[in-house]
Amino acid sequence: MHQEVSAAQMFDAFKKDAPGEHAADSRWAHTHGLGVTGHFVASEVARTFCIAEHFQGHSVPVTARFSNGSSDFVRHDERPDTRGLAVKFHYADSTAHDLLSMTLNVFGARTREDFLGVANAFVPKPVQPESWFRRHILDPLMLRSPLPTLPAGVTVSGGPGLAQYAGSHAFVRAFTIEAGLSQVPVSWARTAYHAVHTFVAVGPDGERRPVRFTWQPVDGVFPVPPEQLAAKATDFLTEEMRARLAQSATQFTLKMMIGDPGDEVDDPSTSWPVTRRTVNMGTLFIDEVAQEQLVDVERLSFNPMRLPPGIEPSGDEILRARGEIYVLGSEERGAIGCPLHSGQGSAR
């Protein structure tokens, strides 16, 4: 009989991908980050597409966390990585809505089973030193595909295992290629973040549209030129954001792409054509660094299934599994849902 892979099995497989040590009170992914506060103001048209509270036009307070995707115990802002932006919208009735996003436009699995395969392939292994034969004979003859370039000092990596897995599993290819091309942004405020999964936005007329969300930085996307990387400190993104916010707020525009009939809605491993209708839903103003990093943000739980009336999940299995996995992660590290409001004080 077919037994569904449980969220606990997925979480266990995920933990095996973490390189090195892990602290009991830290996140198993996106371990290093910076908490910030600000507000979101919807565009004029937003409320005509979705009834969710933050799209009605008044200013909605937010707590957000910029992060590096790695679960490495040691902070490495200067390494290529998938960056994250988790935003918590605080509603007037003390509930909250979370929107989690990352710099990749796709995920590397469609189903719970897929995820176990990818997680197993990604378990870090010692990086093989290049053999003379490969470097001098195979490379010049271009008889092999290039392995992902690893930053200096990295001795174990899941990258080569993932690249090999992608050779025989098409669903993980777009993710592997995007991850392999990841750059280091000059700032967490100079890169775009994608929520990846399809959600259903409910309009005031009851129309239900399949949608995908992306945060676009108002200052534009800008990576560190490779020749400048060596001079970057391991916490440069954190320090850059502190300095930036001491001067003025930074902004992101929330873009909502609307799927056409026939577009894949339950599969986060594929992206939609860029020609899809895209609506500007509003602006996120990141005003300042959170005063109490530990209490207000590091212990906070974000969950992609913490959805408000007006935004519903699609049938995406990975999205729904994440809803359970983040509860497990939050409970394990003693996190809370929303410290600013009573009633959401649990990890759920």
Nearer to ligand HEM (CB atom), residue 51 or residue 171: 171
Is 244:236 a contact under the CB 8 Å cutoff? no
Q: Based on the shown chain and the rule CB under 6 A, indicate whether residue 333 belongs to the binding site for ligand HEM.
A: yes
Nearer to ligand HEM (CB atom), residue 47 or residue 63: 63
Backbone angles phi, psi at 8, to 5 degrees: -65, -40
Q: Based on the shown chain and the rule CB under 6 A, indicate whether residue 290 belongs to the binding site for ligand HEM.
A: no
Nearer to ligand HEM (CB atom), residue 51 or residue 176: 176
Interatomic CA distance for residues 101 and 117, integer angstroms: 23
* Closest CB to ligand HEM: residue number: 84
Q: For the segment 118-157, give every residue that binds ligand HEM (CB under 6 A).
A: none
- Could you tell me which stretch among 29-37, 41-49, 142-150, 179-187 binds ligand HEM (CB under 6 A)? 29-37
- CB-side exposure of 76: number of CA atoms within 13 Å? 19
Nearer to ligand HEM (CB atom), residue 50 or residue 196: 196
Q: Based on the shown chain and the rule CB under 6 A, indicate whether residue 63 belongs to the binding site for ligand HEM.
A: no
Backbone angles phi, psi at 340, to 5 degrees: -80, -20
Of the residues 36, 42, 51, 86, which one makes contact with ligand HEM according to CB under 6 A: 86
CA 127 to chain centroid, in Å, comes to 26
Q: How far is CA 194 from CA 38, 93, 124, 145, in A?
A: 19, 27, 26, 28
- Could you tell me which stretch among 99-107, 230-238, 242-250, 309-317 binds ligand HEM (CB under 6 A)? 99-107
Q: Based on the shown chain and the rule CB under 6 A, indicate whether residue 284 belongs to the binding site for ligand HEM.
A: no
Is 346:95 a contact under the CB 8 Å cutoff? no
Is 180:148 a contact under the CB 8 Å cutoff? yes
Of the residues 60, 99, 179, 196, which one makes contact with ligand HEM according to CB under 6 A: 196
Shortest CA distance to 50 belongs to which of 275, 277, 280, 318?
280
Q: Based on the shown chain and the rule CB under 6 A, indicate whether residue 188 belongs to the binding site for ligand HEM.
A: no
Q: Based on the shown chain and the rule CB under 6 A, indicate whether residue 14 belongs to the binding site for ligand HEM.
A: yes
Of the residues 36, 195, 281, 290, which one makes contact with ligand HEM according to CB under 6 A: 195
Nearer to ligand HEM (CB atom), residue 134 or residue 320: 320
Interatomic CA distance for residues 241 and 248, integer angstroms: 10
Is 281:46 a contact under the CB 8 Å cutoff? yes
Of the residues 65, 79, 169, 190, which one makes contact with ligand HEM according to CB under 6 A: 65
Interatomic CA distance for residues 138 and 151, integer angstroms: 22
Least distance (Å) from ligand HEM to the CB of residue 270?
13
Is 173:179 a contact under the CB 8 Å cutoff? no
Q: Based on the shown chain and the rule CB under 6 A, indicate whether residue 27 belongs to the binding site for ligand HEM.
A: yes
Interatomic CA distance for residues 88 and 48, integer angstroms: 22
- CB-side exposure of 238: number of CA atoms within 13 Å? 14
- Could you tell me which stretch among 149-157, 247-255, 287-295, 315-323 binds ligand HEM (CB under 6 A)? 315-323
Q: Based on the shown chain and the rule CB under 6 A, indicate whether residue 33 belongs to the binding site for ligand HEM.
A: yes
Q: Based on the shown chain and the rule CB under 6 A, indicate whether residue 245 belongs to the binding site for ligand HEM.
A: no
- Residue numbers at the binding site for ligand HEM (CB under 6 A): 10, 14, 27-30, 33, 65, 67, 84, 86, 100-102, 107, 115, 195-196, 301-302, 318, 321-322, 325-326, 329-330, 333, 335
